């Protein structure tokens, strides 16, 4: 028997219903913030991903050579493709550009709950502005989208890579050291970080102060720690303005400053943020984003860019864990013939209802009334129409309400109008 490839999934109609529900909810929030949808190809030239992250990224990618000998990769994320598209087609558009997307991503990860080899991301890129208002709006959008899905318990954590870079400079840490330290900071593995900083010849006193600043959300403590660095101090002041706007203009106060949010120094700069759903345990990160530099690297003229990506699959998992009741697929009407001579009339009624935008299905298995009613119930039919010869002689049919079980005789001709009003 064949099975789905490792790390991929099939989605049944019930699961697709949840996914479509979530897509609609997210798209509605993106558009309410003035974003327009964009779609890019599932595969790109491999170089689009290696130019930023180096050849080592290939281990995490699905790569292939096509019949023309081109090196291609299934996209692992959508920021690089969207920026490529921006440079190719949208550079002359009025700024700022607000683009959102949904798309499958492919990573050669070790599959586990919440971590797949094929998964969907919802995300956005904001191109052409990095004012405090713009960054505050981006943070507000990320928070609002996740909140609007119906999730109750989420955490928005905000870090800053310009400040982290300044601290690295202060501690005389080399680029190679940073590569070892960043993943430890990102995973909040502070004991391991302590040892690694010692290995980098950082004094005990400096290590303690650094670990303290990574774990505090108190801005004044951060400020006094970085007081001797003008760039970092200015960045902290900007960050304070952004957070002030987030709280007092966007009225979002459920966030925390966490300098241990680092995400990746070769890509992001300035503000970075993550949204977690603690209910998910190990793979709890729902969303990650920040400001980044990619346009000049891809050959475009420099503009500020920022964005975020939400793990669509994890959002559904988190909603399920929280017991969220997704809307079920409902059928407006199921039509049952009393005998097979009524089949043609059932079809005509179904077609008439469908042409009026009412979803209708009829018994295709020619089974008895009891089984048909059970089937109608399993399909969450709101109404059932029963077509029998005696009633049909008088141009009437039986309309049954599946919730109450009440039945009434109604005229065949007015059925669409009647059901539309309900």
> Is-contact 48 109, C-beta < 8 A?
no
| Residue choice 52, 75, 258, 314 for contact with ligand AMP (CB under 6 A) | 314
Residue 124 near ligand AMP by CB under 6 A:
no
Binder among 9, 20, 115, 354 for ligand AMP (CB under 6 A) = 115
Asked whether position 77 contacts ligand AMP by CB under 6 A, the answer is yes
Alpha-carbon distance values, 205 to 144, 211, 224, 402 (Å): 41, 10, 15, 72
Per CB under 6 A, 313 contacts ligand AMP: yes
Shortest distance, position 77 Cβ to ligand AMP, whole Å: 4
Least CB distance to ligand AMP at residue 73 (A):
15
Q: Which stretch binds ligand AMP (CB under 6 A): 66-74, 82-90, 178-186, 307-315?
A: 307-315
DSSP-derived 3-state class of residue 359: coil
- Distance CA(263)–CA(274), nearest Å, equals 9
**Phi then psi dihedrals of residue 327, to 5 deg:** -65, 140
d(CA 402, CA 404): 6
Q: Report in angstroms how near the CB of residue 79 gets to ligand AMP at its nearest.
A: 8
| Of residues 374, 372, 382, 400, the one with CA closest to residue 330 | 382
Q: 314 vs 383, which CB is nearer to ligand AMP?
A: 314
84 binds ligand AMP (CB under 6 A): no
Q: Minimum CB separation from ligand AMP for residue 288, in Å?
A: 4
* CB-count burial class (<10 Å; 0-12, 13-18, 19+) for 53: middle
Query: Quick one: which of 196, 199, 291 has its CA closest to 238?
Result: 291
* Nearer to ligand AMP (CB atom), residue 119 or residue 334: 119
119 near ligand AMP, rule: CB under 6 A: yes
Number of chain residues interacting with ligand AMP (CB under 6 A): 16
Residue 96 or 288 with smaller CB distance to ligand AMP: 288
The CA-based angle 273-278-280, given to 5 degrees, is 110
Half-sphere exposure in the Cβ direction for 407 (13 Å, CA)? 8
- Near ligand AMP in 272-291, by CB under 6 A: 285-288
Q: Kindly report the number of other CB atoms within 10 A of residue 253's CB atom.
A: 10
Chosen residue from 37, 109, 341, 401 binding ligand AMP by CB under 6 A: 109
**Which residues of the chain form contacts with ligand AMP (CB under 6 A)?**
77, 107, 109, 114-116, 119, 121, 285-288, 309, 311, 313-314
């Amino acid at each position: 028997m064949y099975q789905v490839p490792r790390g991929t999934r099939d989605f049944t109609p019930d699961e697709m219903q949840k996914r479509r529900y979530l897509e609609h909810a997210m798209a509605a929030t993106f558009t309410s913030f003035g974003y327009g949808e964009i779609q890019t190809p599932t595969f790109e030239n491999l170089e689009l991903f290696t130019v930023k992250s180096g050849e080592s990224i290939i281990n995490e990618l699905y790569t292939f050579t096509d019949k023309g000998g081109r090196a291609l990769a299934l996209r692992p994320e959508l920021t690089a493709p969207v920026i490529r598209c921006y440079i190719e087609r949208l550079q002359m558009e009025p700024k700022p550009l607000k683009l959102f997307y949904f798309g499958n991503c492919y990573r050669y990860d070790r599959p586990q709950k919440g971590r797949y080899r094929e998964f969907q991301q919802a995300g956005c890129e904001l191109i052409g502005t990095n004012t405090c208002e713009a960054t505050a709006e981006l943070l507000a959008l990320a928070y609002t989208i996740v909140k609007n899905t119906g999730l109750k318990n989420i955490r928005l954590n905000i870090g800053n890579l310009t400040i982290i870079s300044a601290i690295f400079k202060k501690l005389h840490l080399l680029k190679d050291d940073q590569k070892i330290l960043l993943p430890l900071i990102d995973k909040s593995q502070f004991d391991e970080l302590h040892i690694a900083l010692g290995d980098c010849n950082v004094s005990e006193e400096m290590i303690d102060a650094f670990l303290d600043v990574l774990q505090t959300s108190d801005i004044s403590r951060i400020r006094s720690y970085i007081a001797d660095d003008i760039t970092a101090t200015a960045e902290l002041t900007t960050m304070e303005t952004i957070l002030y706007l987030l709280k007092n203009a966007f009225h979002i106060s459920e966030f925390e400053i966490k300098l241990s949010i680092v995400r990746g120094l070769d890509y992001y700069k300035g503000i970075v943020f993550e949204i977690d759903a603690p209910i998910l345990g190990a793979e709890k990160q729902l969303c990650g984003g920040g400001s980044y530099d990619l346009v000049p690297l891809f050959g475009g003229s420099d503009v500020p860019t920022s964005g975020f990506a939400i793990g669509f699959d994890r959002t559904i998992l988190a909603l399920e864990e929280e017991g969220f009741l997704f809307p079920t697929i409902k059928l407006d009407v199921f039509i049952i013939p009393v005998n097979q001579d009524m089949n043609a009339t059932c079809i005509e009624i179904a077609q008439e209802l469908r042409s009026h935008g009412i979803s209708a299905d009829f018994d295709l298995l020619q089974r008895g009334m009891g089984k048909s009613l059970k089937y109608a119930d399993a399909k969450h039919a709101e109404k059932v129409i029963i077509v029998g010869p005696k009633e049909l002689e008088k141009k009437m049919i039986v309309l049954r309400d599946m919730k109450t079980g009440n039945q009434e005789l109604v005229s065949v001709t007015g059925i669409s109008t009647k059901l539309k009003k309900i």
